[in-house]
Structure 1
Amino acid sequence: MSVKTKLSLMISLIVLVLLVLNVILNEYSTRVNLQADTEANMLHMSKQISNSVTQYAKGYRLLETVLEEKLMTASIAAADNLDLQLDQITNEQLQQLAIRVGVTDISLLVREDGEYKVARSSDYRELEAMAPMWNKRSELTKQTIKKRKQVNGHMIQFWTSPVEWTGDESSYVDKWGFYDDGQRSYMISCFVRDYKTSSYGQITGPTSYVSQMIANNPVILEITGFNSVLFGNEPIENMPNAKTAAEMEGRPISFGTYTYREANLDLESVTAAAAGEIIFRQTTVHGREVVKSFIPVKEPSGMVVAIVLDKEPMMSVIEEQRNNLIIISVILLIIVVLCIYWLSDILIRPIRSILWKVNEVSFGRFDNSIEVNRKDELGQLAQRVNAMSKNLGVYMNKLKLAFEENRSMKEYLESFINQTTDAIHVVDLDGRITQVNRAFEQLFEYSSDEALGNMLSLVPEHLMAEEMQTVEWLNSGRLLPARETVRVTKSGEWISVSVTTSPIRDKNGAIRAIASITRDMTSRNKMEELLRRSEKLTTVGQLAAGVAHEIRNPLTTLRGFLQLQLETSKFNSRHVDIMLSELDRINLIVGEFLILAKPQATRFEEKDVRFILGDVISFLDSQAHLCDIIFETNFSTESCRISCEENQLKQVFINVIKNAIEAMPQGGDIKVEIKRGRTGCVMVSITDEGIGIPEEMIPKLGDPFFTGKETGTGLGIMVSQRIIQSHYGTMDIVSKVNIGTKVTISLPMLPEENDEASSSTII
């Protein structure tokens, strides 16, 4: 597949993914927005219904108040025009009075056997057939709050019954008022029948408003008004819509229908809404997906308005918008694919020229160049390819010259390896010899035919473990210095040699073979032995002269005092003390001389220098306090383990610290520091603030009997240096007069400690 096709497919795939994401996000956004709009509309409609219910309740209460005031005014007027005695009043008089005061009917009630009966009435039907109904109204009036009022100097009681909807399809309402002033033998009841109130309920009531809202909005399936107090406690029956606010408050369904019911879920939603929470719920009822809302109404208290919306129109809008987006996206994708294919062809043209030039270069033809007509990145790339071609031509000529030089160098190195006096041989990882030089044949007495491809026994049996350890160190990446050891020749002769072992790696850095350079050390060892003997004789002569000189002085003193004792024949205790001190001095010189001369049996162990020096400081701390000296220690937090003889190192540290204490007669600070050096060793430095050592005396320190102290022998530094040398370490002394002296002792760390330090440095 060409780059042009790949580029077109990749960009088309990216555009396709973006278009799909656009459709998904657009649909999600549409769903969220429609849901938010739907919830906002439902909330708005619920508020409108709530306002309608509230206004209807307020209007109805105002209507009842107007009727009540009318009945009360008519009752007072009737009482003013009627005789106090029932016998003096006729039904015709009541008919005329009813017309005059503006009521439908006036009845006079008397109480017999605990029940009210109609004694006089402007309507003859009240006298004949309606008497039992007065008993029911009597019970209703007992639940009504009676009003007390001062009229014509008398206290009266007045109350009314609730409004009753009567007539065919509730075409009018009835309301009764009851008047009792306590002066009459009867009670006045005024009755009003109002034909206009029903039209108010039909026009302004919630049922009319809900029906109109459902008719105007086909998405609304149902609107229900719940009485949260009664809903769930009383059975829901198919009853006509409430005509009055009182009926609304006395039913579990105040208004509307309740067809899309989910009893338990609706009860939970109504309860939550009554507590002040607005509930929106998506569900399926009667096989139809709907959205239900439950919103509380402020007045009357405890009422919840529930609206059921059909979800299908909203989903159809979403589906229509999704289909439109898909069609638009497909058209855009086709246009983008065609444009990308055309643009890819334009972009790939200069790349074809560059590809042609690369093919020319791959065949070694560097002369032809690309014609560059562009200044964009591809034009710059073409220029770089032309420059690269020219440079490759130059480099190829240089490589040919370098190849000839390498071939000459290889011949030279082979000649050098064969002509060198050091034996060189290479073994593979299995121990088979793959290459030897002439010096190897001469040293180990094997011919090249005998050595190549074979495993030779060049290492003595007791050194095999050491040789295996060396191979492991090489595999771990360590660089090994030359080491002196023993090898075995073909004839079985043991020879002392110095061996340098190095790994041979491939291009990936893996070890493929091991090269060893072996140098015969027999002659050099003999020369070194002769030099050591010569040095020993020289040292013995120096020591003998020094001991003779040092012992002669106290002996002269002893001889003089003894002659004086013989001549005077007197015992002088002071002379005896001096002679004893001189004998002690002779004993000290001889003891240190024996320490230096007598071979010491040493047993090296693995110890941490920090703990050894810490013990020495603790031992000398009391003496330092007496001399007004303070130790300042700075020990490394890393392990400083070495192979040593602990008591000998303590002797060295004691000698150095005592010298520091004696160099500070006025007191001061002695700084003791231990740290790891960069060369795999432990550095111990002891610095004082004493009188110092003159620069010309420093090279002579360590010579037998050379000292700058009046009571010293000069053997302490010499013994200390010998101990440090036996530990393969060094001792360095730096001093300035009246400033102080710094003694630095370097001791090699254990190999595993050195490996840990190297790995931590690499990490």
Structure 2
Amino acid sequence: MRINAKVLFITFIIVILLLVTNNTSYYWFTKSLLTQALSERMESTAVQIRTSIEQSEVGSFFVEDLIGENLRSVALYVNDQLDPDIAKVTNEQLVELAKRAGIDGITLMMRSGDDIMVGKSSEPKELKLMSTKSFGYWFTAFSQLLDNKQVTIQEGQKLPNFWSGIYEVPASGSSDVSKFGYFHDGTTNYLTCVFVNADKIKRFKENVGADTIVRKTLSSNPDILEIAGLNGVTFGTQPIEYKDNNGIPFISVYDRPLLFGTYEIMNEQDATYYRKAIETNKPISVVEKWQGKPVLKTFVFVPVKKKMTEVQSEIPYVIAIVSDYQSIQDTLNNQLVRLLLVIVLFTVFSCVFLYVVFRIITKSRETAVKSTQELYIQNVDLMFATIRSQRHDFLNHVQTMYALLANGKKEDQMKYMKELIEEINDVNDIIRIGHPAIAALIQAKIALAMRTKINFSYEFTGLEGLALGVKSVDIVKIMGNLIDNAFDEVNKFPLGERDVMVSGWSESGQLTISVSNPVQPDFQLDDFNQMFSIGYSTKGQGEHQGLGLSVVKERIEYYKGTIEVSVADGCICFQISIPMQRS
């Protein structure tokens, strides 16, 4: 009996070790897979935010350029109204002239030794600026205008005899943020500065800027706790502080460590992860504790890209996304507890069964020695076979749950786990790819339409809760080519007749998009198929001719959609329908 007891004890220890090793390894394997899935989801969200912000910035800088052009026109008017000698100009004249010109202020600047100072101004606070030598590239621009009547530095907006910097906090403290324009054509002994409060730019950024994009992302993703845009130059350091004429310190708009969003869930290691994301140019994800709960932090670096359009400034930054990790931790903990219960019950049952078998076998001391040994071996083999089967099943369960989670099958996953272990906590929904790409495309086309004087209108209805059955990149290809084709056509018309209308709606499981624009009176819709063939174009010789509509047709056919073309009342209308699915 001692030998059998010893064998039973050793077998029990081996079973326990195998089960503990097996369960521990699969626990960490599952945790790694779930963490990776959440991390990849956050990276995808960061990319969508980045794309939306880039399109928004293009639009905001375009608005700044328009204001800059208007400031130059005002500066020409002001220069024509004033005496070319600054000594013969009074501050009262400038106040009255600023009112007539519809701007917030006029300042005349002149050299003072190797410095440049304010000589006359309609704004009393501006008169206290006795030196601009510490203004960096702004001072360089002032000097070049006074010396050469032209500015050559890379920064800012450069026009003939004119330069305008980014909208900025004025050093005089005259307003929160202003837009300045500087003019000098050599006919005066002073530099003419005209400025307006940058309310339009601020309103534009509030409506479509980064903070709005962040708020919308947070509202549609409840498991994301915080999003922050960390300045790629000044975060983690003490930015340069300037003082206005009242001695109040201020930081430049583009030197702020936090560019957008909020940064309240902070950790002393964040600066390390921030630098690592910049140095490697790869997403960095870490699990941390915040208020006693686990969170996943993902850092994605957004470097300065080669400029595709003439914008005034571009800052590298890091998008930091904090997401709730508690649901994954709860899932893992509950899974571990239930698997352990199943394993322990199975182990106890197996050990009791083996013990009973050994007791029966050992009762036959003389005649059953051989059969006892055979039965012992047989049962041990059976036990290990069962354990191996359990290990195999556990792997299948883990892989099945991971596959369901990775493919967004939350309800199927919950049903599967409930059948396996009766109950399990909810797992957060996988992020749905929504419509940020469409919004970003429309925003970009609005900016293009403004530059080319096109009356661009759009309307989308009934798309709430709609899950696109087509890749975002393909829907952008389709809509982008149709809109570009319409823009090219209406550019042939005089101003006031350049109308492009885009509309979209969902109906009967279909997403329908319509793009219409006027065409020339002699336009004939003779051959539908010819219009969508490669090389067909109504434009003159140049680049990118005859490809847009062929791309549209190829993508529509790929998704088994339809496209209709009609001409009525002098307008051509392209209407596409793509099968969709409700989320």
Task: Please give the TM-score of this superposition, normalised by the length of structure 2.
Answer: 0.43
Compare relative contact order (CA 8 Å, sep 6+) and give the higher one, 1 or 2.
2
Task: Please give the TM-score of this superposition, normalised by the length of structure 1.
Answer: 0.34
Structure of greater Rg: 1
